[in-house]
Structure 1
């Protein structure tokens, strides 16, 4: 069923249930309408009022119907921007679901915790707790036995696992999701799996496979008129082309997105700014960075927050702009332990610590930079994120070369050699060229 037909059907069912004062049917229609809107449009705006209306009708607070509506509201309220209210709903929903032993409600409430991936900091001390939530979510889904629920659990867990560096569990969730998608008829599952396979291919540096999967995912989503497709495709192709040294091909697309958007829309500007920086247009990159700084860098409190900060960090570090570097460093520092991940199945750019190391290098804080880069090497290797490990080695080598202690020189040469070998193997032509310049500079210095 096409997107708009599904949404219209559930909206009409809700109207009939409301007119006939059939509360159980109103609850079911509200839940189905919310599923259709949030998964296909990604906004939740239209379903929010209907969920709240149905919640008001279920005045018995210990009822299963009330619990399921409350659990679903956690996600939908979060998507519409009221995140503090969403957190309050989450506490109520989890507690009520556990009291009632209602697994569907508990599933919805726990799944909503994963909507904070990429939006809120997560310290290493919290990794075990996050892993337990991921495990419980998948266990509940398998217990319920519904293929759609299992697929939903796997999709939500993908970015959650990568954020804390659990790549084996990521692979397990992706394989289980692939099985569900292959045996079912839901286009959403097939689309998400294909996008997740592109995400994985980017993570390990198989850029040819990543491009094939990215294009397949876009084609599937367009056939169903899903609005999320353009953003996922744009971020994935940007990452692929950047590593291939082909950013000039996507620069006009990003520029068009910015020109077509409202002036206050900063969604695509950080990526375009990074393109300008990579291609040598430093004045344009600096101008965009200055404009973003006027609104606290326009960093949204959503799943794109961490990757946006990472892009800003790269530009500020390359421009050696101390003022911007200091402010962005402060924004990024709370994320230092986790990987830069864009859910549900979009992107993982390796350790956030690499970007902090770059900023600390720009600020001349050698001790902090060293600590960040050492952590980044560990996290990137743990993720088997070979492209990002190459980048971490390269940036660490640049810092060591700049610090220029006797013991730094040998380490910098070793790191550059490892980075260059990996970059050539993965056909990361932009990094190969950049490392060549770094090695020439190091040779001149020595």
Structure 2
């Protein structure tokens, strides 16, 4: 009745026997191997097999079971009145089995709260579900209590990484809150429905933005922390909009609101939301500052989730400006926090960034292990982030390994399923060009190139998409698109191409060198390639260094100026050695044929 394992003192109080008399009885049971002691826990025993316990339990009448469960509650309450915490789940079980559903509800809720605080997310979710079942049996008409329990259940499920199930709980809570006119509960449901990561796009979820807007519309102005959280999440959800004007305004308002209120928890959410909302080539310095402040605020108030995000915002900015050592230090710190937090959403972000860095630096075997690892924890926790990252990291890996054709279905699906992210269409154009499907590549490039390539929003993915288009243009020998792309990319020559965690693609100067070569602007191409060589080497981006050496050599062999052949030979030898070292054999073959 107490379960497969039981404590001596609980059975003694329940049975009315002294511990000595009870030990005599247990000794007989141990002699016949019905029960055994628990070696690591003095004073605890267990049935030798669960079937023995189940058989004995099923032999009791229903009335007898109810009485014994009630006695168990009394015994546990008497024994642990000063420290019930570790026994709350047990008390909930016996209360409900003893048909005391009100008490079972209270104990299950408290047990769920305790499990959540101990980072036992799945156990917390189970206990909140138990509390909901008890509520249905005790006071099924208590919708405010049901709403509160659903919010707690959604929180536990989301932190466990089960966002599809969590979203259902939050939607149910939102429905109750709307019907009962509970503005704060509606806002909490909206924030929970938005997930653990502020930067997540709405994508195909048509409920997210309206729910966040409804939460903001009804929430009291003085509830600063929750308002800041909703503003931040709404700004992130709007990242699919081509213009950043709306999310810029929302995220700015959130930061100003939090600063005026002097609320550090609100400020942490607001900083996170703003960094996610405005990230682009022209905001690198601001995003680095936002990430630094977020990291400091989050560490000061003990907000581990926001601390991870602070490090991640710093990482992308540092990669963009070439501070790889700084990015690696932040990534190591973020990894430590995420491992302690044990939440799939943060783990997938950190492991995805680690996979991105491994691929970019040529540690392909390590990347091959990290890519599916990040996807495995992120697929349910944040599919809108994890699925594209997985597909594009695999594309990089397959491209480096010489089998890009294996990724055609996946890249085509990404381009179709994420229409608001045209960078994926850029990857598809590049894939067609790499496979020699030149008519398909030309059509894709032309579709993207209208109105000065305005189809690509100027955001975090802009440089990433443009880098693929630069290579596609060169593979197609399309001087017209090369000229337009060169003009667009030139202001950002000092940056590196990073879309976290889809990929790092090296110095922008390499792509300018490729485009200048297509335009036969030889001196500019040479300057860009020299800059790209220096930057990619200093950052340790070995695949991109080898690509730069190869591209530069081909430019020199085309130009055929004084000393060009000798310099080209040096570059080709260096590229060949590096490709072979990295296991990029198909590229090594290409160099050998140059």
The interval holding the TM-score normalised by the smaller chain is 0.7 to 0.9
1:261: how far off? 5.7
The corresponding residue for 2:237 is 76
1:213: how far off? 1.3
The corresponding residue for 1:346 is 502
1:358: how far off? 0.3
SS in 2 for 1:93: helix
SS in 1 for 2:194: helix
Name the count of aligned residue pairs.
432
**Aligned counterparts, 1:226-241, within 5 A:** 226-241=383-398
The corresponding residue for 2:288 is 131
Q: In the alignment, does 2:190 pair up with 1:30?
A: yes
Q: In the alignment, does 2:325 pair up with 1:164?
A: no
User: Does the aligned pair in 1 maintain the 2:572–2:591 contact within 8 Å?
Assistant: yes
Q: In the alignment, does 2:554 pair up with 1:398?
A: yes
1:377 to 512, 533, 539: 533
CA distance in 2, matches of 1:368, 1:408: 15
1:316: how far off? 0.8
Q: In the alignment, does 2:587 pair up with 1:426?
A: no
Q: In the alignment, does 2:276 pair up with 1:151?
A: no
CA distance in 1, matches of 2:288, 2:304: 22
67-76 vs 155-164, greater mean Cα deviation: 67-76
- Aligned in 2, Cα 1:130/1:360: closer, same or farther, shift over 3 Å? same
2:442 to 286, 294, 297: 286
| 1:260-313 CA distance string (max 9 Å, x none) | 669998564432332332233334433432344357554345533222211111
1:350: how far off? 0.8
Taking structure 2 as the reference length, the TM-score comes to 0.66
CA distance in 1, matches of 2:424, 2:459: 14
2:253 to 92, 95, 107: 92
CA distance in 1, matches of 2:582, 2:315: 24
The corresponding residue for 1:442 is none
User: Does the aligned pair in 2 maintain the 1:276–1:282 contact within 8 Å?
Assistant: yes
1:236: how far off? 0.6
Which segments of 5 or more consecutive residues in structure 2 lack a partner in the other structure? 1-156
- Aligned in 2, Cα 1:267/1:377: closer, same or farther, shift over 3 Å? closer
- Aligned in 2, Cα 1:183/1:405: closer, same or farther, shift over 3 Å? same
The corresponding residue for 2:215 is 54
User: Does the aligned pair in 1 maintain the 2:506–2:544 contact within 8 Å?
Assistant: yes
- Aligned in 2, Cα 1:23/1:82: closer, same or farther, shift over 3 Å? farther
The corresponding residue for 2:134 is none
User: Does the aligned pair in 2 maintain the 1:313–1:328 contact within 8 Å?
Assistant: yes
CA distance in 2, matches of 1:13, 1:256: 34
| 1:224-268 CA distance string (max 9 Å, x none) | 58243331111011111111112232235445666x669998564
1:55: how far off? 2.5
Q: In the alignment, does 2:514 pair up with 1:358?
A: yes
CA distance in 1, matches of 2:316, 2:419: 30
The corresponding residue for 2:360 is 203
| 1:384-417 CA distance string (max 9 Å, x none) | 2111111112212222332332243433333222
1:341: how far off? 1.0
1:210: how far off? 0.9
1:170: how far off? 1.5
CA distance in 2, matches of 1:92, 1:40: 19
- Aligned in 2, Cα 1:405/1:206: closer, same or farther, shift over 3 Å? same
User: Does the aligned pair in 2 maintain the 1:335–1:352 contact within 8 Å?
Assistant: yes
Taking structure 1 as the reference length, the TM-score comes to 0.86
The corresponding residue for 1:8 is 168
- Aligned in 2, Cα 1:6/1:41: closer, same or farther, shift over 3 Å? farther
SS in 1 for 2:383: coil
Q: In the alignment, does 2:469 pair up with 1:327?
A: no
Q: Which has the larger radius of gyration?
A: 2
User: Does the aligned pair in 2 maintain the 1:380–1:386 contact within 8 Å?
Assistant: yes
CA distance in 2, matches of 1:198, 1:99: 39
Q: CA RMSD in A?
A: 3.0
CA distance in 1, matches of 2:358, 2:399: 15
- Aligned in 2, Cα 1:225/1:262: closer, same or farther, shift over 3 Å? closer
1:107 to 260, 265, 268: 268
User: Does the aligned pair in 2 maintain the 1:338–1:352 contact within 8 Å?
Assistant: yes
